[in-house]
Structure 1
């Protein structure tokens, strides 16, 4: 038998342990390769949306690659700890430390090569489906399949470098050169877990403080609070698993009436050790799962609220602004009639005059009665002004320019208007190219204004406005003369952008989630041999098969659902803060996402529990 054959046989013998690891690695390779196929596709046309999609996929490539590195590093270190006893036996039979390191390196590289080949193979098989989905998300025609040599070379090179680096680093995990130390492996006596009361209190305080800051965050403060809240919640989560959970379990053990009831003694005694041993794993899984929930939930939520956002930003289905006299209005309405578009319109005249005291040198003045007519037409609040008063129609980007609003504005060599509270929900969509801000003034004041520059704004109300995207803005726009804003065109562009975000975010979230449940799988089966000996021992003192299954199922359930529940709570708190920041209701759709994840997680738990109990039963000798 050659050294290479020996390494291959070792992988086959440990196939059960390596299965989830290779599956997760292959899935990461497949997603990386699929995104690379799109980025390097020869038929991908240039354009803003396509370039945005390519940029999003490129960012996803970096995220998947770096996350995969840490995932593989953690996974390999876990497997090596499981095999310490095996390594000790090999060294007894004459294997040197150098040969052992070569064996570990060879095995890791072989597993990495297998994962890369499987990932690329599956990516090629489902490549056409991926192109169909990406094309649908981006509003493109379905891309044709091609031989992605560049994507293949990039994927193979990136992940082979990763696996080689990890393979070099993992040999450090076999630290003990003493054969006896390897033979004992994880079966060395463990000291009783200890927990600090101070650190337990610190955990509760930091998480509570983080939740409180997230709850009181406003649209202006949420960006400031985001990093500090994330940091203190992460710190609190670590101590939650390493200190607070152990402390509470030890306190529970002191309750003799509960501790000595049925199988609670066995469950709690084992659970204290499990919580302490798995603290870092619980912490890592919780953080990774929280990131997955937030990524997918936020994108899905915004995808669901995009129509409301567009309706708020564009009250009219079409808004036609004429800066000079032209025939574009008649041409536009004629085209609407040709397209059988039924509409109602509201016409507004705007007088443009030079002003002082405002952010811009010119201002557009709108008659109060006309503005209120337009406001009623779209269901907005009307304004009520006294003589000499004015209300500024605030646009989203102008709000960032005027940090401190003036108390009044004055027309050069003319009247002064006292400014009331700005109209923050404007009837009119502010034209970005406009060199003036709009103000509403009383009818009596408006009639006294004289100017040579008068613009008009016509708003069109259309019932089935989503079907009017065939009317192109560019056809009517003439720089400096006419500007048309189409709600349908903006909506479809926004929809396309969110679909790209959803498409990329969903795959990243799935990679993160699959990795987190793989961590749980690794940890569970790494303890299988120790659990077998434990349940063999307790079966000899009278514990029945049914009771052993109950205790085992409870412990597996905690292993799977404690990080999930903590991550769900973290995510729910994060969503409440994000709602303030984005001024949109995202909690409902986000809870639906968590619910879907919970359903998948429960199914995964039932499958793994069944496999684990079967393995435990096959290895153990506890009675029927």
Structure 2
């Protein structure tokens, strides 16, 4: 028998190792490609520029890359762990390390090529099916599905970078390993270097303390310390997972009868939790991110209509100047038919700052016009002003000057603050947030004497805003054409606000479609990644558990020889698997809920936002049901392996 025949026969005998390794890598390629079909979709790329989807895609994209790096590396390590004893045998037969390296390169090259081909094929099929299904559910049929070169290039490139690094590490270790170490590799057990209940308790305190501090400081600090305390929480979580079993055993030992009846389970659990700390940590964090992110985005998507109405008290609103957004009342009637139309004169006054390069701008309104907008009636005297903030009171954070000084005809005139009004009555438009309100006589005086821009704020209500889409689009098109035919404005604040933005149309229907598209796309991406993360975490746990199946089989065979029954073996296996499967699920779900509670403090608390709680329960419930199904599947496969 030739040397090549020996290698080929050993490969055929251990074909399951190759198949499982190939499936893991193919799965990773499919991950990358399915995400790229979303990230490089033409409609989504437009949204990243126009609708601030960049962060929504970058955060889960980074999580996917980190997860896939760990996934490929771990799958490769498990594969190589089983091959080391074979390499030792090849070395005894005379194979040089250089030949082993060549064999390793050829094997992995073949697996990489097959994984790329099958992964791209599976990704193309499943991404198309998933895209069609979810787009129909979130009613976004206008987003087209397509392939382009970027999707294939970045998917293959990302996979090969991670794969080559993992193979390079194995080559380096193979070149340095001795013959004896390779031959005995499958006889070595992972050593547990430290068992410290005290450190485990410290980890729990660090995790709980970080969450409590974050809860009490989040609102006052506007989330400034969120990254810091999240890192502290993750550190505490890692320490807790690594030493939790030791901490639990320390507590349980106080109840000898309970402890000795479960001695095998507790000691085995202590070993497995230390062995699988990194995997359980990764699975826990992925579950936390999945449930937390999905809950928030589902809430945002469901609230698209509510937010459009809240942010736009009037159905349509836009600014009009002498040369920009010029449109007659007759043209508006042609577009909207029967309507209620309110025009509010606004004086946009600006003064050059003395010591810095820039302008101080004021948007000035008369008190008579303000009284048309707000729920109360206000009166102002000479040289008095009212500060009007167009915002919801609970979100308003501002410092108001007791007086303001305006330079008019080289003379300083001081206006004293009389009162303030904080109420959302105007659509979200540039220069429609803070207003200086004076009485009608003062407003007329300022309009005649100061240098500034006179704007008309047009506020329109129609019969049914949901039926106004074509009318709003016609208005936007007409205003755009008119504005293109007039010269640009000499407006000092255009350095910060583009002219097209200043004179845009703010409408309920426009905001509704924008929110629905943006939040729907974000929810689609999150749901898509959630499903991939779930299967990925299941594969990680499944891969680790079944990579040690021979060791577990030998352990339970010996226990059976000294009197352990098959029923007791099944009970012990079920307890171990149940703990490993559900501990990350419970921890991740709990952490996701706590972070939702923390972030909800900024909007009145989670109890004042029942939608968030309801969506969390729905998503967590679905995740738990799927996890239960995967647990019973893994349990059945494990018991078949061990009992047989």
Aligned match of 2:288 in 287, 290, 294? 290
Q: Which residue of 2 aligns with 1:374?
A: 373
The answer as to whether partners of 1:23 and 1:115 remain within 8 angstroms in 2 is yes
Distance 1:119 1:255, change over 3 A: same
Alignment of 1:551-590 (within 5 A): 551-580=572-601, 585=609, 586-590=612-616
C-alpha displacement at 1:375, in angstroms? Answer: 3.6
Distance 2:192 2:160 in 1: 42
Equivalent in the alignment of 2:309: 311
What pairs with 1:17-36 in structure 2 (closer than 5 Å)?
22-34=22-34, 36=36
2:425, 2:595 → 1: CA distance? 33
Q: Which position in structure 2 is the counterpart of 1:508?
A: 529
CA distance in structure 1 between the partners assigned to 2:233 and 2:579 by the alignment: 21
C-alpha separation between the residues in 2 aligned to 1:179 and 1:12? 24
Alignment of 1:279-428 (within 5 A): 279-324=277-322, 327-337=327-337, 343-344=339-340, 348=344, 350=346, 360-367=360-367, 371-376=370-375, 382=376, 387=381, 390-394=385-389, 404-410=399-405, 412=408, 416-419=414-417, 422-428=420-426
How far 1:427 sits from its partner (Å)?
0.7
The question of whether the paired residues in 2 share the 8 Å contact of 1:288 and 1:512 is answered with yes
1:595 aligns with 2:621: yes
Q: Which one is further off, 1-10 or 289-298? A: 1-10
CA distance in 1, matches of 2:254, 2:521: 55
When normalised by structure 2's length, the TM-score is 0.78
Q: State the shift of 1:260 in Å.
A: 2.9
Quick one: distance in 2 between partners of 1:125 and 1:187? Answer: 43
Partner of 2:79: 79
1:260 aligns with 2:286: no
Aligned length: 600
Partner residue of 1:517 out of 519, 538, 551:
538
CA RMSD of aligned residues (A): 4.3
Kindly indicate whether residue 268 of structure 2 is the aligned counterpart of residue 270 of structure 1.
yes
Q: Against the structure 1 CA distance between its residues 93 and 289, is the aligned structure 2 distance closer, same or farther, given a 3 Å change threshold?
A: farther
Contact 2:286–2:533 at 8 Å: present in 1 too?
yes
In structure 2, which of residues 463, 474, 477 is the aligned counterpart of residue 475 of structure 1?
Answer: 477
Asked if the contact 1:17/1:522 (under 8 Å) is kept, the reply is no
73-82 vs 31-40, greater mean Cα deviation: 31-40
TM-score (norm 1): 0.81
* 1:503 Cα deviation after fit: 2.8
**Counterpart-to-counterpart distance in 2, 1:9 and 1:469:** 69
Distance 1:204 1:455 in 2: 60
The gaps in structure 1 that reach 5 residues or longer are: 377-381, 619-624
Structure 2 residue runs of 5 or longer lacking an equivalent are 484-488, 490-501
Which one is further off, 549-558 or 299-308? 299-308
Aligned equivalents of 1:61, 1:7: Cα separation in 2: 40
Q: CA-to-partner distance for each residue in 1:265-305, whole Å, 9 max, x for gaps?
A: 22122222222222232223223333333443333332233
**What are the Cα deviations for residues 435-470 of structure 1, in whole angstroms up to 9, with x where unaligned?**
x95234578x77986744875444334564233222
Q: Deviations over 1:472-513 (max 9, x none)?
A: 242353657976422211221222122232233333343333
Mapped contact 1:222–1:577 kept (Cα < 8 A): no
Aligned to 1:232: 232
Cα separation, 2, equivalents of 1:448 and 1:38:
55
Judged with a 3 Å threshold, the aligned counterparts in structure 2 of structure 1 residues 196 and 70 are, in CA distance, closer, same or farther, namely same
- How far the C-alpha of 1:386 sits from its partner, in A, is 6.5
Report the secondary structure of 1:393's partner residue. strand
Q: 2:557 aligns with which of 511, 536, 540?
A: 536
- Distance of 2:535 and 2:57 partners within structure 1: 19
Q: Is the 8 A contact 1:222 1:580 kept in 2?
A: no
